[in-house]
Structure 1
Amino acid sequence: MEVIRGGRRTKISIFEIVVGDVLPLKIGDQVPADGLVISGHSLSVDESSMTGESKIVHKDPVRSPFLMSGCKIADGYGTMLVTSVGINTEWGLLMASISEDNGEETPLQVRLNGVATFIGMVGLGVALVVLIVLVARFFTGHTKDPDGTVQFTAGKTKVGDAIDGFVKIFTVAVTIVVVAVPEGLPLAVTLTLAYSMRKMMADKALVRRLSACETMGSATTICSDKTGTLTLNEMTVGEVSACGKKIDPPDNKSLLPSRVLSLLIEGIAQNTTGSVFVPEGGGAPELSGSPTEKAILQWGVNLGMDFLSVRSESVIIHAFPFNSEKKRGGVALKVSDSEVHVHWKGAAEIVLACCTSYIDTDDHVVPLDEDKLSSYKKAIEDMAVESLRCVAIAYRPYDVKSVPSAAAELENWQLPESDLILLAIVGIKDPCRPGVKDAVQLCTNAGVKVRMVTGDNLQTAKAIALECGILSSGTDATEPNIIEGKTFRTLTESQRLDIADKISVMGRSSPNDKLLLVQALRMRGHVVAVTGDGTNDAPALHEADIGLAMGIQGTEVAKESSDIIILDDNFSSVVKVVRWGRSVYANIQKFIQFQLTVNVAALIINVVAAVSAGNVPLNAVQLLWVNLIMDTLGALALATEPPTDHLMRRAPVGRREPLITNIMWRNLLIQALYQVTVLLILNFRGRDILNLQNDDKDHAFRVNNTLIFNAFVFCQVFNEFNARKPDEVNVFKGVTKNRLFMGIIGLEVVLQVIIIFFLGKFATTVRLSWKLWLVSIALGIISWPLAAIGKLIPVPEKPIAEFFTKKIHRQRNADDG
């Protein structure tokens, strides 16, 4: 890198640049530091790496002197004074902000930690109580075998037998802890996240951070970019005013007189820097040029323009390329030996001011009087309000004898700009993506607020927001839900917090404005998702709970800062991510409801039996098998439930709602109480009910305990269906479509049969008669109608477990403090 030090140029490493250095810059160079332009000629810079805008920016020492590190010199040359280097440059600060790891847990992780801690403490407490009770009963001689023999008698029982008895008791207590502790919860969460991640690829969403799947399901607001996300990022002609009237649709050439049509096609084909290529084998024409040029060329093609044929019919004798200061460009065409056509195209109000006449519907040139001029101005204003970029197309005939003949004179010839004949005023827009309005409406119905943050002016932003459904018709641009970025950034922090919830559209926003909005919304308790594609969006993407980068238009920095990449840049795909996120959250809730039902039932049964009889009906091996059903197989079955439309009709769970809802408490308590009641009756009165009094006491005891174990397992198998639909009566809806669920249910039944018939010694079970098998299945099936009846019981809106959530948040705040 060259640097000017002490009046002479010296080559140094880019890492040796310091503040105060003067750097010469030329086309193709990359700006190595932040600085100010000292001098320059035609100096233009590509700032897309920092701002995301592809438009080339002209730099000069007075009006636009600032240069940013990482940008490229697109044209010209000049010198710059270095004002900051390294971490202090805009690029350095940007990289520092997105590389910071805030270490925050996702909303679901916070909830899961609280639930797991609570369940673990309860399980440990219950196991400790059971251990104390069983040990006390054993050493006081109150624990008896099934035949009535006392297991321990002071002074008579051998030490080895006493130790064996204590080990059995300790094993039961440890098993209770194993059953109570939700070790299957991480497995269920990981399974459902991994399954959703794989399925989301088909919906054009690449997940970079696994936890982002479930966080998206908790999202309460989405701050969306406009260009390319809500819109197609493809300019098209949306409205046309010609011959004193509106042409609707714009490409309906039957509404245009033949002369106007011919002149329009001639002007579109010749007065352009773009081109049209038609493939030999047919197919859609390939257009090139700027977005505006491509839009007008496409309109010409729709009007029947044969690009190459039209260009061959006339010769360009002089051209005035589009000038950003004059905001128009022109071309002079020789169409015959005696006739020259001068075509102009540019900003509508400027070209219209040069026009004195127009062509009416009868193909006559008519003077442009005040009334007609006012109507054209009104048409331009209406187009601007609808976010259309207005371009006027005009022409005038010119005498070929007045055209300079000498090459030098022709080169300096100024194309005539007065007495133009207006051909048409076209309104060009970046249309909304198909399906965006429906997607926004779907978000609204789901309780997710969509906000548009764009760099466009407020009128354009409002028009697009109305078209997308973000704003309702009749919204005034002065209302609090529409705000300019500079207005928002000048507010105090408390004022930003007060107004953040009301904002639906932010126009003329800078990257920092977007970041401030995200921070304010998060401080208000929202779970915020942000979409972006430019390097300038990186801080907001990093700060948000979920950053969604665009896969097509997105820069590498934006993608690195994001959690999910939307592969087709479509807002509809963002909504699909929300749907999958809610499915993840719902599946985890289903698993927790299923697991807690087993926990509550197993703990109560063993505690009551231990306290009253000194023995537990479910031994260690049986409890571990139930634990396997509950954790591993249950997680596999319930974690792979696909998303349903029902999920998008719920309100978002947000950041503070408890993981275990009132509906879940109702369902699990009903099922747990049923299972506890039935199994305790079998435990204490089972031998009487089954007429086993006359059998061998030990055999009767084993048959009764085997029935309790079998019935308990079948209760879990059938309750697994109930867990699929916690808030719907029809729990079988779509069950056959989930082959994995059906396969796991079948596997559980087969393994249970194997345990009862072939693993009796290992599991301490005996073979049951077919009548007792029917009893076990019947007891399990009863859980279906019981669940349907239970779902008719209304539950309060205020969460029963709200105090647990508050306690967790208070503890977390204390830890953070």
Structure 2
Amino acid sequence: MEDSSMESDLKRRHLSEVVLKKWRKERFRRTRKYESRFSETEEWRTTFSLVKTHRRRFRHESVFEKQTNVLEKQSDVIEKGSTLADRLINIKDWRTSVARIKMQARRFRRVSDLEKRSTHVDRLSKAKDNLKVTFLTIRAAMRYMDAHQLSLNPKSTANPFDFIKNPDKVASMVHDSSIPQQSSLNPMSTANPSDFMLNPDKLASIVHNYDIETLKTLGGVDAIAEIVDVWMHEGVESSDLSSRQATYGINKYSEKPSKSFLMFVWEAIHDPTLIILIVCSVVLIGMGLETKGWLDGLGILLSILLVITITAVSDYYIQSFQFKDDDKKKKKISFQVTRDGCTQKVTDYELVVGDVVHLFIGDQVPADGIFISGFNFLIDESSLTGESDPVHISEKKPFLFAGTIVQDGSATMLVTAVGVKTEWGKLMEKLNKGEDKITRVLQIKVKDVATIIEKIGWVFSVLTFFVLTVRFLVEKAMRNEFSSWSSNDAMSMLGHFTTAVTIIVATVTKGIPLALTLSLAFAMNKLRNDNARVTNPSACEAMCFCTCICTDMTGTLTTNRMFVDKIFLSGETKEARDNGGRVLSLGLSDSVSAVLLQGIFKCTGSEVVDDESGKTSILGTPTETAILQYGLDLGGDFNAIDSDIRMLKINSFNSTQKKMSVIVSLPGVRTRAFCKGAPEVVLGLCDKMIDVGGEIVPMSEENMNFITDVVDEFVADGLQTLCLAYLDVEGSFGCNDDIPEGGYTLIAVFGIKDPLRPGVKEAVETCLDAGISVHMVTGDDIRRAEVIAKQCGILTDDGLAIEGSDFRIIPRLVQVMASSSPTDKHEFVKHLKDMSEVVAVAGEGMIRAPALQESDIGFAMGIAGTKVTKGQADVILMDDDFTTIVKVAKWGRAVYVNIQKFVQFQLTVNIVALMINLVSACITGSAPLTAVQLLWVNLIMCTLSALALATGPPNDGLMKRPPVKGTESFITKTMWRNIISQSIYQMAVLFVLNFSGKPILNLHGPNATVILNTFIFNTFVFCQVFNDINSREIDDINVFRGMFSSWIFMCVMISIVVCQVTIVEFLGTFASIVPLDWQLWVLSIVVGLVSIPISVVLNTAREAWVRLKSSYASALRSHIISLKSKLVKNPKGNRSITDFLQDMRLIADDLALAQNPIYEEDLMVHILSQLGDEYANIVAAIKLRETALSYSELFEKLIDFERGLRETSQNPISSLITANYTSRQPGR
């Protein structure tokens, strides 16, 4: 029995050795050193209990039981040793017990000290780590083999782990040599979860662990495609989507769970003021059970409950639905994928494992995957690794990670992991668990106002309680009753406490934050209907502070629906289309037509596809689409040319090179290169062109000048220009060879038209009227940018159009910055912000992302925008239209003004209620307005008024006033005038009624006091009703404008009046009031109505003062305009530098005296722009300085230069001296 067991054991070990040798031969043949292989082999032997010469393993022990005991001792020894010294002692003891080595002292003779022994242990640890990787690879390979067996025998229930656990199965597989072939799988079969061979976590770990060895062992990306059951040229079948999502997951990250309604209730209860009011109400109920005092406490509790409910409902609706809904739509981005054998557009949420995704510049990689093919593919992995250097992705480095950004080139990738299986998904999971912390400027201002009001209320409440208590104690002492206390005294103190509580209630400002929330929600909802999705609520607020807008040209000011309008071909300019938009025949020879269509269809990063209905569409950028569409309109067959001509290499277009180059293999073993890009780049590569007769002629200087004039003519017409050229390459071309950079033949120059969007010019004028400057910041040619800017009204006569490299010395006068890089755009925005400008930036491409991040308000294009820009943006323009930005600005100002209206109304209520109760309590010892009445006015009525005032639509007058300054006080002088005037009127009336109301109203009897207090309460409420109407317009005479067309406002006013009638007539006991007769009702309404004429009179007086002031100021305004005109048009001429600079300084000083000072930098710009041509060198040197000059420094340099000109005017080598002077300029 023992012999058969030993024989089986030896056989098992022998077969395992066979597997190891075969695997090790392939694994370590060229990649591992001998020492590494040896250490890993030893680890393998230890795991499988293998010994090189197994007969000698226990040569000193003959009994099997003793062998077992030795193994147990060995296990104990391994578990014991915690330190290196302990291990050495245990090893010596063990070797002595089993007589393994006769001379134990020689065991570490070559590592005699502990440091060397420690190094030895570290090496062993590294070997173990490598062995772990080895076992993972073996396990993956074994699973792959087992999956193959399963595909051949579906009924098989083999477990892949059996190949590790059971060496007999390993041996049988080795002897059978059943290695799976790539063709063994059928990717066209119907997909279901059992067909996907690798575990999702294991499949994801290949990319996550950057396991290139496992990828090679499995057979590369082709093998992975077979494992996930997909043909890469066909893509995933639509019928497989649900099963793939069930197996591998969906490409979504778990969102932060929405708060329940009870959570919002809980948050509302935590308000300190409400907590104190709840405590006070409980005290009032407990102490007033024997009297009717408990009604005040119960009323306060019910009012607080209603306020908490309203606050929770509004927050639950707005925060849980609207803002999150916008954020989800913001994140939903479309990508091009290959599915069902054709290219389709799907959202990133719809991606599944196995999808073949096409990636282009600016895309954010939507999932983890493996590179299939591509050209010059660079990835920015800084979002994951923090490294700013781009990573070149190729077959050697094929792994792509979700969340990274495509910086250059294009590629296709095979998706291997989605959603939370990706590293980016795990990061998003953690971020979504964090708390939302959004700080908004307007929110801070509103909160500050509310906090100040409540603090004032607390101070006056304590002061009132102190005065009443002292008064009570003094009266008690004067009656010699200080030592005796009764229940009546306790009730008196309770009354004083109740009065103090009413003071607190009078200053509760719960309506102000609610008004802000309602106003933002209403504005965001309206903007959604106007094609603007606000993803960051603070953007709505910030737009009221916006002072300048930096916008791109293409797609924002223009329609981005481009078409070829003119073409230069065969030596002449031709119209591409007639007035009806139909393509005109070019009359070309077959050879010229062929090379033109080849260049159009092959030198492109876009694709022509046919959908299921057979309709042809083009997937690509608008510029590429225009050229491809033109090729199709000429009768070209994209699919035929694409199949006949094989692509060898491609250098994708980028903003730095400004060109795209390809190498293709033509039928007949010919190789041809095509180049397409900006004229200034492509023309420099051409030494030949096609003439009128279709012949190739040299590119002479005359021909080059003629073509340059054609390009200038196209640009002057506002057309975008692109040149197309070709080169027949001699000999063979290898994939590692570079595409030629010269010797091309010019084929054509395309003039591409992008029409202006309707309404853009009017929108720009609206911005200028609103004090918002508009700057065009684009990467396009400066000449074309100037044409478009003038058509839009952006570039004016006194404005400047410059290139990106020159802007750093130019301040606010820059209206067009063309040929700008992403760095230029970012620096331009930063420069404006440093000048205290509030900047809004609109853009679509990845190059706009840094500028969007730097800006105060970022706008992204919803149609043409990339995921990167949308991720950085605060507002997404769903129609990509500049006019939508103006709508956002208008609504932003409306939000600010609406909150001001409500704050004006709320402060009037608080001041009147506070003063009437405070003064009355201090004089008479009681307050006419009870806590329940004040809660009704301050909480319920003000909450409804917040809905009425905070949802007002914007009017045209908002865009005819300057932007709000961030440092400007939220409560303006006009608001204080309205607040104080209305408060004085209301307090005067209520004080008269409180102290002399009974004789005036002829009230007698035991209920006279209650009736008077009810009348005061009723009058106070109707004063607020009509003051609500006054607050609709802060500084307008006609307060009724648009009131009857606002159904929300009318419903709120009617609701307040109905509630007031109900409280007075039917809930008298609860509110400590009694019903009033009709005369008192009419009198209450009349007293409240008087507040409207007061507001009209004040606004009329203000309007008259403004007109009077403007009439006297018109002369000053004319003087300012004259000075500014003189400053712009004051050339130096024959004057000396001293006289010229003194004149310019005098003009600047006059402007300062007229309270319209000019910036020092702007003055220097005007000076430099009006110097003669002889100062061109010094002007260029100053513009190239990294730091700006002061006026005194500029004065000195110009004086020195002028002196040098005089001295060199008689010197024939003056140009050399001037050049030398320029090179010596400091700061360069």
Relative to the length of structure 2, the TM-score reads: 0.48
Tell me the alpha carbon deviations over residues 364-420 of structure 1, each in whole angstroms, 9 at most, x when there is no partner: xxxx9999986654232232456634357999xxxxxxxxxxxxxxxxxxxxx99x9
Shift of 1:710: 0.7
Task: Name the residue aligned to 1:436.
Answer: 760
Aligned to 1:814: none
Mean CA deviation greater in 557-566 or 260-269: 260-269
1:184 aligns with 2:511: yes
Q: Cα distance 1:354–1:636, how it changes in 2: closer, same or farther (>3 A)? A: same
Amino acid at match of 1:166: M
1:622 corresponding residue in structure 2: 933
Q: 1:790 aligns with which of 1098, 1118, 1132?
A: 1098
2:837 maps to 1:526? yes
Instruction: Report matched runs for 1:440-589 at 5 Å.
Output: 440-472=764-796, 475-478=799-802, 483-484=804-805, 488=808, 501-535=812-846, 537-589=848-900
Structure-2 change in CA distance of 1:537 and 1:175 (3 Å): farther
Q: Is the 8 A contact 2:800 2:815 kept in 1?
A: no
**CA 319–425 in structure 1, closer or farther in 2 if over 3 Å, else same:** farther
> Which residue of structure 2 lines up, in the alignment, with residue 206 of structure 1?
533
Which residue of the partner structure matches residue 390 of structure 1?
721
Alpha-carbon RMSD across the aligned residues, in angstroms, is: 5.5
Corresponding residue for residue 196 of structure 1: 523
Query: C-alpha distance in 2, partners of 1:317/1:614?
Result: 101
Question: CA, structure 1 residues 6+443, in 2 after alignment: closer, same or farther (shift >3 Å)?
Answer: farther
Counterpart of 1:204, as a letter, is N
Query: In structure 2, which of residues 895, 902, 912 is the aligned counterpart of residue 591 of structure 1?
Result: 902
> What is the rounded CA distance, in whole Å, between the counterparts of 1:220 and 1:610 in structure 2?
50
Match of 1:111 in 2: 445
Q: Hey, what's the Cα distance between the residues in 2 that align with 1:256 and 1:582?
A: 47
Tell me the amino acid that sits aligned with residue 115 of structure 1: V
Q: Distance in 2 between matches of 1:428 and 1:353?
A: 24
Aligned to 1:792, the other structure's residue is in SS state helix
Can you list the C-alpha shifts for 1:6-63, whole angstroms capped at 9, x where unaligned?
A: 7999999666679xxxx9xx9999xxxxxxxxxxxxxx995534799xxx86489xxx
After superposition, residues 703-714 of structure 1 pair within 5 angstroms as: 703-714=1011-1022
Please show how residues 8-407 of structure 1 align to structure 2 within 5 Å.
Answer: 47-49=361-363, 58=376, 105-141=439-475, 154=481, 159-239=486-566, 251-252=578-579, 260=587, 272-273=600-601, 286-287=617-618, 291-292=622-623, 294-296=625-627, 298=629, 354=688, 358=692, 377-384=708-715, 388-390=719-721
Q: How many residues align?
A: 698
* Residue in 1 that maps onto 2:999: 688
Question: Are the structure 2 counterparts of residues 51 and 525 from structure 1 closer, same or farther at C-alpha, using a change threshold of 3 Å?
Answer: farther
Distance (Å, rounded) in 2 between the aligned partners of 1:179 and 1:160? 29
* Cα distance, 1:594 vs structure 2: 0.5
After superposition, the Cα gap between the structure-2 partners of 1:300 and 1:557, relative to the gap in structure 1 and judged at 3 Å, is: closer
Q: Does 1:657 align with 2:991?
A: no
Instruction: Indicate if the aligned counterparts of 2:790 and 2:796 stay in contact, CA closer than 8 A.
Output: yes
Tell me, yes or no, if the aligned pair for 1:533 and 1:550 is still in contact at 8 Å: yes
Deviations 1:646-700 (A, max 9, x none): 22222211311111111211111111111111111222222222223xx21x322
| Aligned-residue offset at 1:581 | 1.7
CA contact (8 A) 2:893 2:958 kept: yes
Which amino acid counterpart does residue 214 of structure 1 have in structure 2? E
Cα distance, 1:240–1:322 mapped onto 2, change above 3 Å: farther
Query: SS at the partner of 2:537?
Result: coil
- Is 1:736 the counterpart of 2:736? The answer is no
**Cα shift at 1:717:** 0.7
Aligned residue identity for 1:105: T
> Contact conserved, 1:45 with 1:72, CA < 8 A, in 2?
no
Q: Is the CA contact 1:446–1:650 (under 8 Å) kept in the aligned structure 2?
A: yes
**1:595 shift after superposition:** 0.2
Distance 1:294 1:592 in 2: 53
Which string of whole-angstrom CA distances, capped at 9 and with x for unpartnered residues, describes residues 205-224 of structure 1?
Answer: 22333333222332223333
- Per the TM alignment, residue 103 of structure 1 is displaced from its structure 2 partner at its CA by 6.8
**Once the 2 structures are TM-superposed, how far is the Cα of residue 440 of structure 1 from its aligned partner?**
2.8
Offset of 1:320 from its aligned partner?
12
SS of alignment partner, residue 668 of structure 1: helix
Instruction: Give the 3 Å change call, closer, same or farther, for CA 159–547 of structure 1 in structure 2.
Output: farther
Over 3 Å counting, the alpha-carbon distance change for 1:277 and 1:537 in structure 2 is closer
Q: Is the 8 A contact 2:564 2:576 kept in 1?
A: no
Q: Which amino acid aligns with 1:605?
A: I
Partner of 1:400: none
Once residues 395 and 791 of structure 2 are traced to their aligned partners in structure 1, the CA distance between those partners, rounded to angstroms, is 44
Aligned equivalents of 1:784 and 1:188: distance in 2?
A: 23
Query: In the superposition, relative to structure 1, how do residues 72 and 552 fare at CA in structure 2: closer, same or farther (>3 Å)?
Result: farther
C-alpha separation in 2, matches of 1:539 and 1:636: 39
Deviates more, 1:100-109 or 1:188-197: 100-109
- Contact 1:27/1:77 (CA < 8 Å) preserved in 2? no
- Residues 256 and 345 (structure 1 numbering): CA distance in 2 closer, same or farther, change over 3 Å? farther
Opposite residue 642 of structure 1, the aligned amino acid is P
Q: Which amino acid aligns with 2:1028?
A: E
Tell me how far apart the structure 2 counterparts of residues 317 and 549 of structure 1 sit (CA, whole Å).
40
Closer, same or farther: CA 212–164 of 1 in aligned 2, 3 Å: farther
- CA deviation digits over 1:594-651, x for unaligned, max 9? 0011112112222332333333222222211111245311212212222222222222
CA 102–136 in structure 1, closer or farther in 2 if over 3 Å, else same = same
* C-alpha displacement of 1:346: 6.6
**Any residues of structure 2 matched to 1:755-766 within 5 Å, and which?**
755-766=1063-1074
Higher relative contact order (CA 8 A, sep 6+): 1
Match of 1:675 in 2: 986
Return the letter of the residue paired with 2:601: T
Is 1:772 paired with 2:772? no
Mark the CA change 1:762 to 1:157 in structure 2 (over 3 Å): closer, same or farther.
farther
C-alpha distance in 2, partners of 1:311/1:124? 80
Aligned AA for 1:172? T
Paired with 2:780 and 2:1057, the residues of 1 have a C-alpha distance of 62
Cα 1:255/1:213, change in 2 over 3 Å:
closer
- Any residues of structure 2 matched to 1:748-759 within 5 Å, and which? 748-759=1056-1067
- Aligned identity (percent) is 39
**One-letter identity of the residue aligned with 1:756:** V
Equivalent position SS for 2:1101: coil
**Which amino acid in the other structure matches residue 454 of structure 2?**
G
Specify the SS of the correspondent of 1:791. Answer: helix
- CA positional deviation for 1:541: 3.5
Contact 2:499 2:926 survives alignment (8 Å): no
TM-score (norm 1): 0.70
**Deviations along 1:279-318, whole A, 9 cap, x unmatched?**
99999x74567744532465578xx86667x999x9x999
Aligned to 2:950: 639
Q: 1:77 to 1:389 in 2, by over 3 A?
A: farther
Q: Is the 8 A contact 1:213 1:584 kept in 2?
A: yes
User: Any idea what SS the aligned residue of 2:865 has?
Assistant: coil
Distance in 1, matches of 2:518 and 2:943, equals: 10
- Determine if contact 2:447/2:513 at 8 Å carries over to the other structure: no
